[in-house]
Amino acid sequence: MQTKQGFAAIIYADQPERADGFISATARVAGLSLIERQVRQLTRLGAHIIILFAPNTAEAIRAGLSPANQGRSDILVADTPAALAGMCRSSRQPFFLLTRADSLVDDRILATVRDRRADTVIAYREIEDADQPPKRGKAPSPLALACLVPAVKITGRLPAGAETFEQTYGAISDKAAFVNIDCLQAYEPELRRTQPMLFERVTGPERILALSRLMVTRTQKGTLDWPARLLHAPMENFLTRLSARFGISPNSVSAVAAVTGFAAAWFFVQGYILYGLLLALTVGVLDGVDGKLARATMSESRLGRAEHLLTKFVEYSWFIALAAYLVPAHGNAVWGLALVVIGFSWAEAVQGEFYRRLTGAQLDDAGRFERLWRLIGGRRNTYMWAFLPFVLMGTPYTGYWALAFYALVTFFVAQIRFIVRLRAYATKASDDIARNYRQTAYF
């Protein structure tokens, strides 16, 4: 949970000069320089001021920021320890959150350090026994933690005489609270899956490609339908990496997906059902790409968050277009089938969204049964793949009946699980609700 209190962030880009000219902070991983990625992370976390400490590479660090961040008045660049000290004194923020510019750091690590109720906090990763928290009174020594500290929190002034990231956390380690990053909660609700904490230092160009692949892989959601899990992921990951490399925005991918989706509807209404179906299946891949690209490049926007509404509109246009094509041959009853598919699909989506807004969790990820049902339940991807055999056999009308039945079953299964999971949540959250259930039980 984000703290209401602001803070100042310091990103240490104090890398010694290298003979090959490589600067870790400006290395681009999955479409973003490391310094730009950290600026975006810290801005999201509520930093009121971000100081970039770059004694040897100030101009290169500025150039590594996006044009939007280069023009921000709350992002300062210090090229000497004296300048850094002066900026810290004038920041008037309650505490400092320190990171190193040559690293990829998990958002959850930074949020934990920010929110930890202690004046001084050091997050660390052990080489051995990483699954064991540090024993009380036996914090790891600063030397043992060299190169394994992703973030530090300091309340008050920075230690005098400390000019590097290592010197800074070394000077306060005797009074710090330590956070073992490998003991933090690994489950990510937004992605509906568990994944380890990310902390990788980029000390040279040799690992940039591998880390770019890793960053895209980490955007994969865990609870998916079977086409997205088994078929789409390799294509999505390739297109996401390609888009990030060439600076293509997630909204641009969303626009291409929408145009492709409406083109599929046009093919459906014209009777070119197979062509329309192939385009509809393509939309499923593009829809995965725009989400992954937004997460990998930290480019989520309000427009992007509303993209799922456009996706629903496109999807439902397919069923209307199919009905319009089939009505002349099979009568107006086809409109009833369209109403069943669209109505029950919409109702299922609405109750899922209600559950998420109420509980903060996804109904599809509420338990083992829900995750298994998500694989095969009716969704855009599974509808289109289920429809494909009927199209290949030349019986789209029969296939439409199958889709209507599929939508009906999906809704009622979801409805039952909605009631079960909502009852469990409500009775746990409220003693009054739990008592009402006990008092009104039939048996």
17 falls within a domain: yes
Tally the domains of the chain. 2
Residue 212 DSSP class: H
- Asked if the model's pLDDT at residue 250 lies above 70, the reply is yes
Express each pLDDT in 173-185 by its tens digit. 888 888 989 889 8
Express each pLDDT in 415-431 by its tens digit. 999 999 999 999 998 88
Q: What is the per-residue pLDDT for 3?
A: 42
Based on the fold, state whether residues 153 and 237 are members of the same structural domain: no
Whether the model pTM is above 0.85: yes
Residue 305 binned pLDDT confidence (cut-offs 50, 70, 90): low
Nearest CA among 285, 296, 286 for reference residue 232: 285
Handedness of CA 82, 85, 87, 90 (dihedral sign): negative
Q: What is the per-residue pLDDT for 19?
A: 66
- CA dist 121 and 114 (Å) reads 9
Residue 119 binned pLDDT confidence (cut-offs 50, 70, 90): very high
238 falls within a domain: yes
Q: What is the per-residue pLDDT for 304?
A: 60
**Residue 195 backbone dihedrals phi, psi, to 5 degrees:** -150, 150
Do 75 and 53 contact (CB within 8 A), yes or no? no
Based on the fold, state whether residues 137 and 270 are members of the same structural domain: no
Show which of 164, 188, 212 is a domain's final residue: 188
- Domain limits at 132? 7-188
Do 356 and 198 contact (CB within 8 A), yes or no? no
208 falls within a domain: no
2 falls within a domain: no
Strand partners, 100: 12
Based on the fold, state whether residues 126 and 237 are members of the same structural domain: no
- Asked if the model's pLDDT at residue 141 lies above 60, the reply is no
Show which of 140, 173, 188 is a domain's final residue: 188
207 falls within a domain: no
Based on the fold, state whether residues 182 and 323 are members of the same structural domain: no
Based on the fold, state whether residues 285 and 418 are members of the same structural domain: yes
Residue 127 binned pLDDT confidence (cut-offs 50, 70, 90): low
Amino acid identity of residue 262, one-letter, is F
417 falls within a domain: yes
Angle at 6 between CA 4 and CA 10, to 5 degrees: 145
Q: What is the per-residue pLDDT for 204?
A: 87
- Asked if the model's pLDDT at residue 380 lies above 50, the reply is yes
**Is residue 87 helix, strand or coil?**
helix
Contacts of 40 (CB under 8 A, 6+ apart): 32, 69, 298
Based on the fold, state whether residues 338 and 257 are members of the same structural domain: yes
Based on the fold, state whether residues 233 and 105 are members of the same structural domain: no
CATH number of the domain where residue 61 is located: 3.90.550.10
- Asked if the model's pLDDT at residue 393 lies above 90, the reply is yes
Q: What is the per-residue pLDDT for 132?
A: 47
Do 46 and 85 contact (CB within 8 A), yes or no? no
CATH number of the domain where residue 232 is located: 1.20.120.1760
DSSP 395-436: -HHHHHHHHHHHHHHHHHHHHHHHHHHHHHHHHHH-HHHHHH
Q: Greater confidence, 3 or 302?
A: 302
Q: Which residue has the tokens 């994969």?
A: 220
Q: What is the per-residue pLDDT for 308?
A: 76
Based on the fold, state whether residues 151 and 240 are members of the same structural domain: no
Based on the fold, state whether residues 177 and 231 are members of the same structural domain: no
**Residue 83 backbone dihedrals phi, psi, to 5 degrees:** -65, -40
- CA dist 385 and 381 (Å) reads 6
Show which of 146, 165, 188 is a domain's final residue: 188
Based on the fold, state whether residues 264 and 172 are members of the same structural domain: no
Do 289 and 253 contact (CB within 8 A), yes or no? yes
Q: Let me know how long the chain is.
A: 443
Strand partners, 12: 53, 100
Q: Return the half-sphere exposure (C-beta side, CA atoms, 13 A cut-off) of residue 382.
A: 19
14 falls within a domain: yes
